[in-house]
Amino acid sequence: MSNEARSGEVPVLSTHGLTIRFGGHVAVNNVSCEFRPGTLTAIVGPNGAGKTTYFNLMSGQLPPSSGTVRLYGEDITHLGAPQRTKRGIGRAFQLTNLFPNLTVLENVRLTVQSRAGMGLNMVSMWASHIELIEKAEHFLHLVALTERRHENAAALSHGDKRKLEIAILLALEPDIFMFDEPTAGMSVDEVPVVLDLIQHIKAMGDKTILLVEHKMDVVRSLADRIVVLHNGYLVADGDPTEVMNSPIVQEAYLGAGVADHV
Amino acid sequence: MLRTLLSGDLPRSRMLSATLLVVFIGLALAPFVVSGARSLNVAATICVFVVLVASYDLLLGYTGVVSFAHTMFYGIGAYGVGLALTGMGPSWTAIAVGTVGALLVSLVLALVIGLFSLRVRAIFYAMITLAVASAFAVLASQLSDFTGGEDGLTFKVPELLQPSFHLLEATIMGRAIDGKLITYYLLFFSALGLFLFMLRIVNSPFGRVLQAIRENDFRAEALGYRTVIYRTLANCLSALIATLAGVLMALWLRYVGPKTMLSFEIMTDILLIVVIGGMGTIYGALIGSALFILAQNYLQVLMGQTSAALSGVPFLANLFHPDRWLLWLGVLFVLSVYFFPTGIVGKLRAGTLAKVDRRP
Ligand SMILES: Nc1ncnc2c1ncn2[C@@H]1O[C@H](COP(=O)(O)OP(=O)(O)OP(=O)(O)O)[C@@H](O)[C@H]1O
Ligand SMILES: [Mg+2]
């Protein structure tokens, strides 16, 4: 990863003819797209459009049927999720996907530990690595979960689970942040915390942010670019106002009445 | 000091600390407080089982992997020293060669089983280990020229460990300092060392990853942990420690045979002890083994006495007949699982669970 590569000449992440079939159903169909640093791209589309599946293909949870994924121009299609995470692709999940019987703090501490490359250390005590614990506490503070840190993740409310999901993503300190409906199911007063965090990441300037979001006001306020998926196809891609006003989006997406989807 | 020895994983319950202390002191002083070869044999068996069961807990309780091949690794350790001592004569070199050879065989087998099958679904993994372990047990009894077949092998151990050897003329607390005593303490301190080693592993950064994998392997991958590597490592560690437990048992019994070392019964005993003691606690192995082995050895005696005392009452006397001990052990097991689903350690710790991950 040279400086030149990071500067935006080469896209950070790109997909080329990415396709996946589940039996006869093509969930993601020949999608080619490039993502550049310092840009927040909103990926929108109706339920079942293939947004989460597209994410899974990029972050390595699923192998594609055909097509490639590239990171700084390098083909990473053959790499699994752990290797992609290590290379800077950070993923938060739509359906919260935590370690339910470990504490909130431990959920994040494990993430910090992975980032620190300490997982294979068998000789020291986990509790003696105070720096990892403190770092984890820092991320919990960012999402306002400090008070709950000693509770099991399973005991959290839905909104707090979503916040923990975000704390884990932050703790990965990735170059590429992939948010899959981060505010879905949150109460109105919890949403601003999340939006502020995303704004904050954006303000860092060099991060590549991918955001799947149904709430149009959120998309409007954050996105630099909008990509529309429909039935697995990429049907529109470009400047937010342009895309929102294009006939295909009006028909395929906004007309579908999912703007208030939770 | 104690905190470091226990890797920061303190019992966290007064009752649990007391129970652990009783078992520990009991085992430490066993040769001086119990009399007779049988009692010492029980204590030695407990020492070995603590190691065997704790190493299984590493896999089942911490990593969430169900394996039926644990006795196979135990058997490899036992047969390793058994064959070496038979073939090379009673020397420490033979023990070293047998142990290292057995560890290598176990390592290779654990690696192969792990890499080939830990990617597949848990149920297939359990099936594969079952198949490999059965094949191994059959092999051990079929190769009778080599392994002694069903009868097994009786062999001599180095002089220092022989019962007829006396280190001192004098006795301590009425107890002769003979080879049997030395062997017992060899077992005791090896078991203690291995136990503390396992306690360290589960409380290391690596051990925390194992628990994360047990909880949600999909997410552990997304955090950057390659679960196949972690599972395979846990599998190898567990197998190697079980092998050492087998070595210790063979040295104690001066005998190896398929029934004592490889039978499926031992596998079910291990499973029962892990569950009774408390999965994912390591300490459960200590309490569970002590309780289970004591019950296995003394329930029959106790029942014989009860039955004799009740000889006037026909039905009850029959119910407590010593031949029914297995039935009662079963009843005890069902009751303990019903009342302590998280095991004895889980139950004793329940009141303090909220503090589990609090920083020192
Ligand atoms: N593992 C799978 N096996 C079979 N079909 C799948 C699988 N994963 C997704 N699908 C199907 O692929 C299609 C796209 O699903 P996906 O979850 O990607 O949609 P989405 O755009 O994220 O929808 P939502 O807005 O509801 O989250 C759906 O029809 C879904 O049923
Ligand atoms: Mg989705």
Same domain assignment for residues A44 and A150: no
- By most ligand atoms within 8 Å of CB, the mutation choice from A43, A52, A59, A215 for ligand 1 is A52
- Evaluate whether residue A228 is within a structural domain: yes
Q: What is the pLDDT of residue A137?
A: 96
Contacts for B259 with CB less than 8 Å, ≥ 6 apart:
B150, B152
Same domain assignment for residues A48 and A126: no
Mean pLDDT of B231-242: 95
Average pLDDT of every residue of chain B: 88
B209 CA to chain A: closest CA distance, Å?
7
Q: Measured in angstroms, how far is the CA atom of residue A50 from the centroid of ligand 1?
A: 5
Same domain assignment for residues A76 and A6: yes
Query: Which of the listed residues A143, A173, A203 is the one where a domain comes to its end?
Result: A173
Low-confidence ranges of chain A (pLDDT < 50): 1-8, 257-262
Number of domains in chain A: 2
Contact residues, chain A, for B201 at CB < 8 Å: 122
Domain that holds residue A26: 1-88+175-262
**Ligand 1: lining residues by beta carbon, under 6 Å:** A 22, 27, 45, 47-53, 94
Rounded CA separation B167/B182 (Å): 9
Does the CA dihedral B107-B113-B115-B121 come out positive or negative? negative
Name which of B177, B199, B179 is nearest B187 in CA terms: B179
- Evaluate whether residue A93 is within a structural domain: no
Q: What is the CATH number of the domain that holds A214?
A: 3.40.50.300
What tens digit of pLDDT does each residue of B305-345 get? 887 888 777 777 777 777 777 788 788 778 888 888 888 88
Name which of A81, A156, A110 is nearest B214 in CA terms: A110
Query: Which of the listed residues A139, A173, A207 is the one where a domain comes to its end?
Result: A173
Written as one letter, the residue type at A173 is: E
- In B194-233, the residues whose Cβ lies within 8 Å of chain A are 200-201, 203-209, 211-212, 215-216, 218-227, 230, 233
Is the reported ipTM for this assembly greater than 0.85? yes
Query: Which of the listed residues A112, A141, A173 is the one where a domain comes to its end?
Result: A173
Q: What is the pLDDT of residue B352?
A: 56
Mean pLDDT of B168-197: 88
Rounded CA separation A186/B154 (Å): 70
pTM of the model: 0.89
Q: Measured in angstroms, how far is the CA atom of residue A46 from the centroid of ligand 1?
A: 11
Same domain assignment for residues A179 and A82: yes
Same domain assignment for residues A78 and A201: yes
Q: Residues within 5 Å of ion ligand 2 by Cβ? A: A 51-52, 94
CATH class of B2-357: mainly alpha
Asked if the C-beta of B62 comes within 8 angstroms of chain A's C-beta atoms, the answer is no
- By most ligand atoms within 8 Å of CB, the mutation choice from A21, A31, A53, A227 for ligand 1 is A53
Same domain assignment for residues A189 and A134: no
Contact residues, chain A, for B357 at CB < 8 Å: 102-103, 105-106, 150
